[in-house]
């Protein structure tokens, strides 16, 4: 996944956050850290990496305690550090790297499908399956030769299973006065071999996910400030007004095609522009 693709997904999330969020559907961004290992390959250290993606929380049967959590971690690396040496099938390279270390890295698109139960105090529990689609897999060989650090990356995608399936469970907490932000930890146990050539259930992924989830949209804070843009987000530009409180002194004027211009009635030098996908804006006094 390229950086530009990730940026595009984040931009789309920001643009359509208000449209996707409602009382029964919560949408936002996930991000955090992975601590992972793989059984059966002689790993002596866990692999630590980061993850990034988006999520949906669907309220079940209009019950604010039960949710279906899903989404996609578009950037998620699993694997293990300091694994047993495997030949690169080149005698000269093997002689250089066999005394060094080898890390195995597996890049997945992770799709959790979890049932979440939320308590009144903000604590929640969740469990369910997770599917992971492999898009990149490689072994990283590191050694030192004549005082210089040498690194070799060898693709292992052809020998790896493209789909990983397992179970995941976690616990988390909704932060008070943070407009739906929550943090948590999940544990994932794979149930399918990482390698196609390994004996049955001998090389399995296991990963701890530490994360924070941030809802996207106008939310309560924007309403408190006096802005509500139906179906989109607000982009505010002011030439002299330092904050949104200045908008209370101005009269809204709705223009077709989703552009709302706030015309100054007391100070003509101030212009506030609010870009919204639907031409409906409300300002409180």
For 156-170, give the secondary structure using H, E and C. Answer: CHHHECCEEEEEEEE
Lowest-confidence range among 85-99, 175-189, 262-276? 262-276
Number of domains in the chain: 2
Q: Is 80 exceeded by the pLDDT of residue 197?
A: yes
Contact in structure between 246 and 266 (CB atoms under 8 Å): no
149 plus 243 within the same structural domain: no
Q: Using CA atoms, how far apart are residues 157 and 163, in angstroms rounded to an integer? A: 11
Give the angle subtended at the CA of 204 by the CAs of 109 and 191, to the nearest 5°.
75
Q: Please give the C-alpha separations between residue 194 and each of 44, 103, 132, 133, 206, in angstroms, as whole numbers.
A: 17, 14, 11, 11, 11
pLDDT digits (tens, 9 = 90+) for 117-153: 999 999 999 999 999 999 999 999 999 988 899 999 9
Contact in structure between 221 and 49 (CB atoms under 8 Å): no
Q: Is residue 282 part of a domain?
A: no
Residue with tokens 């949408």: 27
Q: What is the helix (H) or strand (E) element at residue 251, kind and residue range? A: strand 251-255
pLDDT digits (tens, 9 = 90+) for 206-228: 999 999 999 986 444 444 444 44
Predicted confidence at residue 17, as pLDDT, reads 52
179 plus 233 within the same structural domain: no
Domain that holds residue 252: 220-275
Q: Is residue 235 part of a domain?
A: yes
Lowest-confidence range among 195-209, 240-254, 258-272? 258-272
Query: Residue 15: pLDDT band by 50, 70, 90 thresholds?
Result: low
224 plus 205 within the same structural domain: no
171 plus 235 within the same structural domain: no
How much is the average pLDDT of 61-86? 94
The β-bridge partners of 27 are 56
Q: Is residue 201 part of a domain?
A: yes
105 plus 197 within the same structural domain: yes
Q: Using CA atoms, how far apart are residues 109 and 135, in angstroms rounded to an integer? A: 8
* 3-class SS of residue 135: strand
């Amino acid at each position: 996944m390229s950086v530009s693709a990730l940026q595009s997904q984040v931009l789309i999330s920001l643009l359509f956050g208000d449209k996707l969020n409602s009382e029964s559907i919560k949408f936002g961004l996930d991000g955090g850290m992975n601590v992972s290992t793989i059984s059966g390959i002689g790993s002596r250290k866990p692999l630590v990496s980061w993850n990034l993606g988006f999520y949906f929380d669907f309220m079940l049967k209009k019950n604010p305690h039960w949710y279906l959590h899903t989404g996609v971690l578009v950037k998620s690396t699993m694997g293990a550090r300091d694994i047993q040496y495997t030949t690169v099938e080149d005698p000269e390279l093997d002689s250089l790297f066999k005394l060094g270390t080898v890390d195995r890295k597996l890049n997945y698109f992770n799709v959790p499908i979890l049932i979440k139960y939320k308590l009144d105090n903000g604590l929640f529990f969740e469990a369910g399956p997770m599917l992971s689609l492999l898009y990149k897999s490689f072994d990283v060989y590191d050694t030192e030769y004549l005082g210089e650090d040498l690194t070799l990356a060898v693709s292992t995608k052809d020998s790896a299973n493209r789909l990983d399936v397992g179970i995941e469970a976690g616990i988390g907490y909704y932060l008070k006065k943070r407009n739906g932000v929550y943090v948590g930890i999940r544990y994932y146990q794979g149930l399918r071999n990482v390698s196609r050539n390994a004996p049955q259930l001998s090389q399995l992924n296991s990963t701890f996910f530490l994360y924070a989830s941030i809802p996207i949209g106008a939310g309560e804070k924007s309403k408190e400030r006096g802005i509500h843009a139906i179906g989109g987000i607000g982009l505010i530009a002011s030439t002299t007004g330092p904050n949104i409180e200045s908008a209370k002194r101005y009269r809204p004027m709705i223009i077709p095609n989703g552009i709302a211009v706030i015309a100054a009635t007391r100070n003509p030098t101030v212009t506030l522009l609010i870009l919204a996908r639907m031409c409906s804006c409300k300002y409180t006094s």
